[in-house]
Amino acid sequence: MKELKEILNTVLKEKKGYLTFLTGAGVSAESGLPTYRSVDGIWIKGTKYHRPEEFGTYKYFSQNQEEVWQYNLFWKKMIEEAKPNPGHMALAEIEKLLGDRFRLITQNVDGLHQEVGTENVYEIHGSKHKVRCSQECSEPFDFPENIPSKEYTEDLTPEDIDNLKCRKCGNWLRPNTLWFDESYNEKNYYFDTAYDIADHTDILFVIGTSGSTALPVGIVETVKISAKWIILINPETETYFDYILKGSKTLYSIQESSSKALPELKALIEEILNKKE
C-alpha cells in the first residue's frame, strides 16, 4: 500500500480538512446483517413476497402499519444479535487517532459504529434504535423499552400495538429510517451536514457501498469535483461508484473486505502520525 501511504502522509501533514468515511451495507454484512437489497432482504408475509422497494415505503406503511412493524421488530432482533466486526472497531480507533478531522457518514441503521464507541457518526438513512410519530408531532426518540423484538413469525399483541402509538396524538409511531418514497432532509437525516462535510473533506473513504442511493452519490460527486482523494474499499469492483469515478486521477481502489482493509488502514495512519518529524 505504498501509494496510499503517500496520499495519507501528504493529507495528514499538509492539509487540515476532514478524513471522511462513508460506510454502507457491506460493513454490516460482515456482522451477519443481510444487505437490504439482497435476496435475504426480501420480506415474506404469508405467501406474499415483498421487495424492499415495495414495502419499504411510506405508502405501504400507511396502509399496513402492523405488518411493517412486525418486519421492523424482527429486524430489531437481528440487530440486537449482531456483533460489531473488526472494521467497526478499526474505525473507532481511527477516530481516536484523527480526533476532530474524523467524520463518519453511514447508510447503516443498525448503530454498530456507535456500539464500539465511535462518536462522530452521521446516520443519513436514520436509525432503527429510534422511532418518531408518523404524523411528525414530535422529535425522534429512543426505541421504547416496552416494545419487544420479535421472531420472524410472531404477530404483534394488542399491547404491542398500544405501545406503538404516539403518546401525544394517538397515531402510529414509525421507525426513524428513510423509506424509498421519501426525501432526505437535515432534521432527521443530516442532509445539509453531509454536503458540508463533503465540501471540507481531503480524503473520502467509500466503504462497502455501491452507490444505489442519492445522497451517497452526491457526497462522492462533491468530493470528486473538488479533486480531493477518494479511496474505494469494496471486494466488488463493478459498482456504480467505480463507474462514475472511472479514470479519475484522485481515485484509489482497495479490493478488499472492510474487516480486512480497515485494520490495515488504521495501522498505516498510526505509523504516519507516530513518526518523528
Binding-site residue numbers are 133, 137, 166, 169
Residue 166 near Zn ion by CB under 5 A:
yes
Smallest gap from residue 140 Cβ to Zn ion (A): 12
E strand segments, the chain: 18-23, 43-45, 48-50, 102-106, 121-123, 126-133, 141-142, 173-177, 201-207, 229-233, 251-254
User: Which residues on adjacent β-strands are paired with residue 141?
Assistant: 131
Smallest gap from residue 193 Cβ to Zn ion (A): 25
C-alpha cell at 112: 454498530
Mutual angle of helices 214-225 and 191-199, in 10-degree steps? 20
Q: Which is nearer to Zn ion, 138 or 193 (CB)?
A: 138
Question: Which stretch in 5-13, 162-170, 255-263, 268-276 sits in contact with Zn ion by CB under 5 A?
Answer: 162-170
Identify the burial level of 112 via C-beta atoms within 10 angstroms of its C-beta, where 0-12 means exposed, 13-18 middle and 19 or more buried. Answer: buried
Q: Which is nearer to Zn ion, 5 or 187 (CB)?
A: 187
Q: Which is nearer to Zn ion, 131 or 133 (CB)?
A: 133
Give dist(CA 169, CA 237) in Å, integer: 48
Give dist(CA 79, CA 20) in Å, integer: 25
Q: State CA 61 to chain mean position distance.
A: 22
Could you give the dihedral angle defined by the CA atoms of residues 270, 119, 227 and 254, in that order, rounded to the nearest 10 degrees? 60
Q: Which is nearer to Zn ion, 10 or 135 (CB)?
A: 135
Question: Which stretch in 38-46, 80-88, 160-168, 223-231 sits in contact with Zn ion by CB under 5 A?
Answer: 160-168
Q: Do 228 and 203 touch, CB atoms closer than 8 A? A: yes
- For Zn ion, what does the binding mask look like between residues 108 and 137, x meaning CB under 5 A? -------------------------x-x-x
Active site residue 129: no
Q: Which is nearer to Zn ion, 121 or 133 (CB)?
A: 133
Question: Which stretch in 86-94, 142-150, 166-174, 217-225 sits in contact with Zn ion by CB under 5 A?
Answer: 166-174
Residue from 83, 142, 169, 275 that binds Zn ion (CB under 5 A)? 169
Binding-site residues for Zn(2+), in ranges, read 133, 137, 166, 169
Tell me how crowded residue 82 is: count the other CB atoms within 10 A of its CB: 17
Smallest gap from residue 164 Cβ to Zn ion (A): 12
Residues in region 137-156 near Zn ion by CB under 5 A = 137
Pairing of strands 126-133, 173-177: antiparallel
Identified catalytic residue from 50, 88, 113, 125: 125
Smallest gap from residue 56 Cβ to Zn ion (A): 22
Instruction: Supply φ then ψ for residue 147, to 5 degrees.
Output: -105, 110
Give dist(CA 206, CA 234) in Å, integer: 8
Smallest gap from residue 134 Cβ to Zn ion (A): 7
Count of chain residues binding Zn ion (CB under 5 A): 6
Per-residue DSSP letter, 165 = B
Residue type, 45: K
Catalytic positions, written as ranges: 125
Name the residues that contact Zn ion, by CB under 5 A: 133, 135, 137, 166, 168-169
